[in-house]
Amino acid sequence: MKSLEHAAVGGVVGVAAAILLRPPVSLPVLVVTAVVLSVFVDLDHFVLARAERGDWATLELAVTNPRVGLFEQERLFEEFDDEFDLKRLFTHHLLGGVAVAGVALAGSVSLAAFVAVVLYAHVVCDYLRDLGLA
């Protein structure tokens, strides 16, 4: 999914998760956190592209051409095969597990659950898009 779509889903899921889980943080902060998590977890794509290509050309394209970086994001990773998509989803799972464990170890199980729900929604949206269902 595109960043703006992830941001929208993250905002909606963030509101629902905040109301249901009641972490010890204000609702506006939780919603902003959900949107940021939903968008910025995708930065792993650029690290993977760097590993595949051997350079930062994909990140450079996104940064130097805002139209591509914001609205035509499918162009950024079109050169990569289906294995890249599997790696992308795998790194999302790894990052999500580390983030949730880190927040839980820091002492807030409800906030860790909030992070888990938000990142779970992100990964489900990615799967739905990859399957052609969203």
Provide the token pair at 116. 């888990």
- Taking Cα atoms as reference points, which of 13, 35, 17 lies closest to residue 110? 17
Element spanning 106, H or E? none
> Would you say residue 93 has pLDDT above 90?
yes
Q: Map tokens 């956190």 to a residue.
A: 33
Query: For 30-88, how does the pLDDT look when each residue is reduced to its tens digit (9 = 90+)?
Result: 999 999 999 999 999 999 999 999 999 999 999 999 999 988 998 999 999 989 999 99
> Would you say residue 134 has pLDDT above 90?
no
Element spanning 73, H or E? none
Residue 87 is part of which domain span?
A: 3-130
Which runs of consecutive H residues, i.e. helices, occur in 22-133? 27-40, 44-53, 57-64, 66-70, 82-105, 109-130
What's the structural domain count of the chain?
A: 1
pTM: 0.93
Provide the token pair at 132. 């052609």
pLDDT of residue 63: 95
pLDDT of residue 19: 97
Position 16 confidence tier, pLDDT thresholds 50, 70, 90: very high
